[in-house]
Structure 1
Amino acid sequence: MTADDQTALNCQNVTKSFRAGSRIVTAVKDLDVEVHVGKITGLIGPDGAGKTTLMRLAAGLLRADRGTVNVLGLDAAREALKVQASVGYMPQRFGLYEDLSVQENLDLYADLQGVPVSARKTRYDELMHMTGLAPFTKRLAGKLSGGMKQKLGLACTLVHPPRLLLLDEPTVGVDPVSRRELWAIVARFVKEEGTTVLLSTAYLDEAERCDEVIMLDEGQLIGQGPPSQFSDPLAGHTFKVRIPDRKNRDVQELLAGRPGVVDAVIQGDAVRLVLARDAEPSVETLLPDEKSATVDAVPPRFEDGFITTLRERRGDGMKPPERTAADSNGKTSDTDGTVIIVRDVKRRFGDFYAVKGISFDVTHGEVFGLLGANGAGKTTMFRMLCGLLPASDGKLQVAGIDVRKTAATARARIGYMSQKFSLYGTLSVADNLQFFGSAYGLSGRRRRDRIDWATDEFELKPVLDDTSGALPLGYKQRLALACALMHKPEIIFLDEPTSGVDPLARREFWHRINALASAGVTVLVTTHFMEEAEYCDRMAIMMAGEVLAFGTPQEIKQRARSEDNPEPTMEEAFIHLIETQEESPTPPRPNE
């Protein structure tokens, strides 16, 4: 095998720029990378690092301004059509036709990819078996859950067996069970068909499974190699910190910003700490006022290396966002007790129940999580609580207001950040802030003050005149949260707020949520990042419109504890609960 035969993708001195309003943005700059045949290579980096641009260059959909992109021995600029015939590309928003059935989508993509009719049945059977979609070939794609749509998108990409498979964040927005299934499909193609895979991901545990990773930042290559290349240098610099009777998120805030602290993130029953190479890992140095604290060494992981590499490159340590008193309305609500009451709530769509008699309470200043597989009913529950969707039956009370009777009054007391970017994409950032300030009843000096606060607090000044729909995902998230907080709500609903957001932006986001909770704001959140669930005081895990489990993170994980796995992670506990329920004779998940 020659050197060319061993390389599926080779980029040499590649630069690609775009115009964004009046600015020129260089998406990739002087990039030299290789993707090796028969391997799974992870592509990682913060928002705006150039990952999608590199994918599109490799797929022959963009032409580099400078440099060469060689794909499977073909020049991607001069032989783009040949490249596209040899490569499978699944973008972040894969183009399923939702008004067509699963089978009709497969047929359409087989036609587009020139798959002979005689070869289709065998290929379809294999793909449907592998993805678990065989019982659903007649179902409309639009009626599938998020995880099933992703699996169908992958199947359509693989109808014609590609030599190089490009997957741009294929697991964003899917639950841990579906995420594991997607990985099993990809691994099987690599093993059985020799497919080469370049996969971008915001999940760093996924990157750790790859044979190699390519790390980008601001369009430039930061490093390439096996995941251990990034984690091994941190041996002796990673720890777990515990303080008895203190919430982990409070411990995290105590550590953030301390000299020598590179990263502090909640992990299980402790706070995972990464220290600079010259920092002293002692309680006296880190937490001098917390005599009961413990600091224990743990092995480094890839995520530690990723965060350290980026922060060393940028020359800063862990700096939580500065916060002002304007983060909240300063109220402690009418009571420091229960602020959300849900009793036997149901939501029916025709004969189908998306929510089946759910009950729970949320107390003042609590961070409460709703977790579940795709299609479990989480978003439906959120929309009912926000007064955006009427309940079919049951009691819904938010901030002392009956949502079923006076939804508009309740909405004035809450903030809502939806699963998908729901601001006005054709308006500028400044115009969105103006609009949402007015929509929440703010005017005059009060509105100007809140817009100034949002601009400073969320560091939006550099992008105020940019069209919001064209912002990087991290900025979109900041803007969406800023708009949701314009009127100083007592309760905020966050529906998968960090889906697809890079790890640095997720950390920044959760520092803000911690501050809101500390200021007395009640937070309800859904997430597919199981480590984020550790930030919750309590949570409910849903499936098929019902609650499978309810309690603190530790109580939930206790249900999955066994001799073989005495310390399960939240993701392992989640998968255990879902799979245990699926083995029992219960109705299937909604839409599946």
Structure 2
Amino acid sequence: MVSSAAVAEGLVKRFGEIVALDDVRIAVSPGQITGLVGPDGAGKTTLIRILAGLMAPSEGKVTVLGKAPGEALDDLGYMPQRFGLYEDLTVRENLTLYAEVRGLDRAERDAAFDRLLDFTDLKRFQDRLAGKLSGGMKQKLGLACALVKTPKLLLLDEPGVGVDPISRRELWAMVGELTGEGIGVLWSTAYLDEAEKCDHVYLLNEGRLLFDGPPRTLTERIAGRVIRVTGFAERRRRFLTKALDDEAVIDGTIQGRAVRLLLKAGAGVPDFGGARVEKAAPRFEDGFIDILGGGPRGSNPLAARYRTIPETGEAAIEAKGLTKRFGDFTAASDMQFTIPRGEIFGLLGPNGAGKSTTFKTLCGLLTPTSGTGAVVGHDLRHAATDARASLGYMAQKFSLYGDLSVRQNLDFFAGAYDLDRETARRAIDAMADVFQLGSRMEVNAGTLPLGFKQRLALAAALMHEPPVLFLDEPTSGVDPVSRREFWSLINGLVEKGVTVLVTTHFMDEAEYCDRVTLIYRAEQIATGTPDELKAKAAELAGLGDPTMEDAFIALIEDFDRVRAADAEAA
């Protein structure tokens, strides 16, 4: 029996002059979840692919289950970062294909499939095409296919990306059961609350190993340096911007009416002009940001360049009874909300709940079946072209032209927004400067790292300085540092009067919203400020100080309980 499921020593991987991994060491123990975290481009996927035998290291020694990579495939399970199954095959057909590839004996298949379909709760969907599954179901199917032949080592490359909190908890619980069977798991993740639950964590940055140990060891490094500030008179975003510009502060996030700050080592607490300051418990994410040198500053050049959106007195976005059906299926029912100028409004909900349908209907990509929607006074039914011209849209998946360079993409969108040549030139130069794209302007967009793809997509959406911004899961799969940079830019725009409609599965991002609506089973089941939803969840579930994720789950579970009771009574 091997003492480690996988070991790498002095691991180096070069792609030409680029060093993706530089003298990395790692050990994955049987029966434990080992976390692999780091910013985009840190080398996480490269490391996992080497362990999976998909690429060879440039230098170093690697063993997997006591053998060279590629020689232990019978005992290895691998789930890639992107959905790698066949969308035009059913759930069961995908399992059958993987069973064929893994050489699973036909006599064993029915029992294995039944076990995996029960394990992932996909039995009732086994005849559904994989492409028709929700994001959470796709990830469960990917996990099931990786487990068709029970492995001794399971490699998971960011399995929680694009999945709602309920599905992520279910995935985590399933993987936890596997470790109880002695399976070693390497879990790469952009969700640092997941990393905090791992037995051991490796932190990579630019190919180098920065930390190796239990998560609590990193958290303990910043004990006493995290504070929670309340009672300030300014708007939360403005206060956070000013706080982040203070030299003593290296990171900050919004939590309801409070702002949570990480102080530089050895720094005193700044004077916040009479606001209340109290110590807060450190989290793994704080240690992560600290070891990377801190997050972005508060003020940003995008807001400084952007025009101020005038106050007209009319709603920036409005939905009145907005309903969308596909045949007999109702994807979104009777959506009702009004969003004023300069507000961030969040659409939250599990995969397949109807939030993306609502989002796409409001930005003119889908035609409503009934009800009305409007953007800055332009009705989506009668003035859709004017409505679309008044908004910037950032899609959930990178939707720009991968075979065009960064400059060509920006030039294309300048033309699409009907900018004259001189205005387009100034806008392209400004976007290149603000989003630090200058050195990559002639690079094909499809080859950019994820973080830079996100920057380019946002830059393209802002070329015409729209008054309204639609963001569909804009930071899915992006590391915490890049997410902070993104929200720093958005906060600055909102202070200039821009209105933002956003969908997200990151519940800490929901805290940046002025209001949110929770959509479930095509209905709005709760609407209010983040603090109002957390207070409601605390009452329902008896929680002392619930997070937004706690609120998300408690409100959905309460809705299901009420529906089940009503059905039973009927």
Give the corresponding residue for 2:378. 401
Closer/same/farther in 2, CA of residues 583 and 103 from structure 1, 3 Å limit: farther
Q: Which stretch shows the higher mean deviation, 135-144 or 161-170?
A: 135-144
> 1:532-543 maps to which residues of 2 (within 5 A)?
532-543=509-520
**1:127-146 → structure 2 map (5 Å cutoff):** 127-146=116-135
Q: Does 2:18 match 1:25?
A: yes
Bigger shift: residues 453-462 or 556-565: 556-565
CA distance in 1, matches of 2:289, 2:319: 39
| 2:322 match | 345
Name the CA distance, whole Å, in 1 between partners of 2:332 and 2:203. 42
Pair 1:328 & 2:306 matched: yes
Query: Are the equivalent residues in 2 in contact too, given 1:39–1:211 (CA < 8 A)?
Result: yes
TM-score (norm 2): 0.96
Q: CA deviation at 1:84?
A: 2.5
Partner of 1:501: 478
Task: Report the residue type matching 2:218 in the other structure.
Answer: F
Partner of 1:474: 451
Query: Could you list the per-position Cα deviations for residues 424-445 of structure 1 after superposition, in whole angstroms to 9, with x for gaps in the alignment?
Result: 0111111111111111111211
1:252 equivalenced with 2:240 (yes/no): yes
Q: Quote the residue 2:427 is aligned against.
A: 450
1:377 aligns with 2:354: yes
Contact 2:300 2:488 in 1 (8 A): no
For residues 288-342 of structure 1, the C-alpha deviation after alignment (integer angstroms, 9 at most, x for no partner) is xx22x0110122111111000011xxxx664246224565332315x14422121
Paired residue for 2:155, among 152, 163, 166? 166
Choose from 104, 108, 113 the match for 2:102.
113
Q: What residue number does 2:546 align with?
A: 568
Inter-partner Cα distance in structure 2 for 1:332 and 1:398: 15
Where do 5+ consecutive residues of structure 2 fail to align? 566-570
1:90-489 correspondence runs (5 A): 90-191=79-180, 193-281=181-269, 285-287=270-272, 290-291=273-274, 293-311=275-293, 318-320=296-298, 322-324=300-302, 327-333=305-311, 335-489=312-466
Look up the SS of the partner of 1:126 in the other structure: helix
SS in 2 for 1:249: helix
Query: 1:237 and 1:331 mapped to 2: Cα distance?
Result: 38
Aligned position for 1:590:
none
Instruction: Report Cα offsets for 1:100-120 as digits up to 9, x if no partner.
Output: 111111111111111112222
1:244 positional shift = 4.2
Q: Is the 8 A contact 2:242 2:298 kept in 1?
A: no
Q: Does 1:69 align with 2:62?
A: yes
Q: Does 1:490 align with 2:445?
A: no
The CA RMSD measured in Å over matched residues stands at: 1.6
Q: Deviations over 1:259-309 (max 9, x none)?
A: 12121112344211111221112xxx342xx22x01101221111110000
The DSSP-based 3-state class of the residue aligned with 2:196 is: helix
2:568 matched to which residue of 1? none
Query: Is the CA contact (8 Å cut-off) linking 1:327 and 1:516 kept in structure 2?
Result: no
Shift of 1:564: 4.0
Distance of 1:325 and 1:372 partners within structure 2: 30
**Offset of residue 485 of structure 1:** 0.2
SS at match of 1:462: helix
The one-character-per-residue Cα deviations of 1:107-144 (angstroms, maximum 9, x if unpaired) are: 11111111112222222222111211121111121211
Q: Distance in 1 between the 2:493 and 2:443 partners?
A: 28
Where do 1:9-24 residues align within 5 Å?
Answer: 9-19=6-16, 24=17
Can you list the C-alpha shifts for 1:12-60, whole angstroms capped at 9, x where unaligned?
Answer: 22211225xxxx3221112122222221000000000000000000000
TM-score, scaled relative to structure 1 = 0.93
Contact 1:243 1:251 in 2 (8 A): no
CA–CA separation in structure 2 for the residues paired with 1:15 and 1:386: 46
Structure-2 separation of matches of 1:433 and 1:336: 32
Distance in 2 between the 1:351 and 1:363 partners?
33
CA distance in 2, matches of 1:469, 1:317: 27
- Of 526-535 and 378-387, deviating more is 378-387
**Residue 515 to residue 272, structure 1, CA distance change in 2 (3 Å):** same
- Distance in 1 separating the partners of 2:492 and 2:295: 19
Q: Is this contact kept in 2: 1:92–1:168, CA < 8 A?
A: yes
Give the aligned residue type for 1:505. S
SS of 1:299 mapped into structure 2: coil
Q: 1:529 aligned to 2:502?
A: no
Secondary structure of the corresponding residue to residue 524 of structure 1: strand
User: How many matched pairs?
Assistant: 564
Q: Which deviations, in whole Å up to 9, do the C-alpha atoms of 1:152-173 show, x marking residues without a partner?
A: 1111111111111000000000
Contact 1:45 1:216 in 2 (8 A): yes
- Secondary structure of the 1:32 match is strand
- Mapped partners of 1:521, 1:227: distance in 2: 39
Identical columns (%): 51
Distance in 2, Cα, partners of 1:575 & 1:245: 32
